Chains A and B, each alone.
Chain A
Amino acid sequence: MITLTVNGAEHKLDVDIRTTILDALRDHLGLTGSKKGCDHGQCGACTVLINGRRVNSCLTLAVMHEGDEITTIEGLGEPGNLHPMQESFLHHDGYQCGYCTPGQIVSAVGMLGEVKDGWPSHVTGDIAHGGADLSNEEISERMSGNLCRCSAYPNIVDAIRQVGTTGKGAV
């Protein structure tokens, strides 16, 4: 029996030792917003926040995260009370089929936190001194762990940049 804290609520779960966070969310807690794309950490569709940091939930075991704060797409917002990033994806049409979208949105929220903390990226010019701007190049690099097979990338980048620069999802 393990205890997981998901979107602020504690859950006691009787799971096989091999259960990943992703499978615990989807199969045991009915939180199917986090998607299983590749199940190998390559596509990012399963991205959740653990203690505020974005990670691939398919590549970590539930048993290793007792006591940690897990936030899924369902915990960011819900119909009628959307997170700005969810609003912005709607406004900018940042998807086509929608399968990668929850992972894109959760990842983008985590990514903006990293930018706010001054983390550099591979394309940041002066990493010894600088923080980063939110250029298209920076957003693309920082979001490279989230694949979109429909290739809705231009609108995804627009949606993220709007939230990153204005804090608002709706125009």
Chain B
Amino acid sequence: MKSFAYERASDPKAAAAIASRAHARFIAGGTNLLDLMKIQVETPETLVDITRLPLKEIAEADGGLSIGALVTNSDLAADERVRRDYEVLSRALLAGASGQLRNKATTGGNFLQRTRCSYFYETNARCNKREPGSGCDAMNGFNRILAILGTSDKCIASHPSDMAVAMRALDAEVETLKSDGSTRRLTLPELYRLPGDTPERDTNLEAGELITAVRLPKPLGGTHIYRKVRDRASYAFALVSVAAVIGVENGRMETIRLAFGGIGTMPWRDARVEEALIGEAPSAALFAKAADILLTEAKGHGENDFKIPLMRRVLPAVLREATGVAA
């Protein structure tokens, strides 16, 4: 690990100001950042410790919830309001990492974790995300876990978070504080970037911009499911996952929220899929059509080709479970 200057922030504004310096990083749970610093994929010159900032509350706000950025993944998953009204979020959190990691990892940090692409971690390999312009060894390499949607010819790295997939289904927004003291609120499609020609930038956050909270809109009701398919039963990243909130009234699907993990370069959602289902009577044929729409532009790169037929089965399975329609 390369050495760094360490600063413990006393308040959020001071933290944002210090972190706007060149080569500075916030550190909270540190479970991803320190891992990357040990192998020198991340080499910050300054670490701004934000763990003592007062951003650890979950409060009711505007009929929904305001979740402090430093609420741990464990505390968020165990919160009674989240378990009752946003079950898909608890489920997604509990499907991720291990008990020890969830006790450390924070809500803000979970959004900002980096891809687990092997070539991003392997400093002897070419990786446009780690070293812009160097090339991409994943494209024709071991890409079993990588993305099939939202990719570019520069990068096919999948976004690893389970939590962010549920957050996307729930229309969560992040609140931030910039180094000039101003604040803003970003939807997840505004927070995240597709790789395009600049895969080194995962998000649209500016230097020193601090996520302070996450806002969840009022509860949707309905049936909540987080289905995660992975190579072992626990403590593994998703090959594919589906976060679903489905409400059926009078035989028709009146609430549909669907987001997807493991397949996209960002936590994925496709309005066309929900439009095809909303207001319709559930049926196996309709579910198959929804999967076709989701995967219209999907592109495998060899080892990860299987994700296309896998998702073509998993999405209908989730919809069948949510609506009670038989196969």
Contacts and interface: CB of A to CB of B under 8 A. Distances in A.
Contacts of A17: 3-6
Interface string B172-208: 0000000000000000000000000000000000000
B1 interface: yes
A16 B91 CA distance: 39
B101 A117 contact: no
A61 B99 contact: no
Interface size class of B (residues with CB under 8 A): 20 to 34
Contact of A44 (B30, B83, B98): B98
Interface residues of A, number: 38
Given A127-B90, A144-B98, A145-B101, A60 B78 contact: no
Contacts of A77: none
B1 A127 contact: no
B99 A54 contact: yes
Given A16-B3, A127-B87, A145-B99, A59 B94 contact: no
Contact of A128 (B3, B87, B99): B87
Nearest to B4: A17
A120 to B, nearest CB: 6
Contact of B234 (A20, A61, A63, A141): A141
Nearest to B234: A144
Interface in B82-133: 83-84, 87, 90-91, 94-95, 97-101, 103-104
A59 B99 contact: no
A12 interface: no
B88 to A, nearest CB: 11
Interface stretch (A26-34, A87-95, A107-115, A152-160): A107-115
Nearest to B31: A59
A167 interface: no
Interface of A: 16-18, 20, 39-41, 44, 47, 53-56, 59-61, 63-64, 107, 110-111, 114, 117-122, 124, 127-128, 140-146
Given A18-B3, A59-B101, A122-B234, 10 more contacts: A17-B5, A56-B104, A114-B99, A117-B78, A118-B78, A120-B90, A128-B83, A128-B84, A144-B233, A145-B101
9 contacts: A53-B103, A55-B100, A59-B104, A61-B30, A61-B34, A64-B30, A119-B74, A122-B91, A144-B99
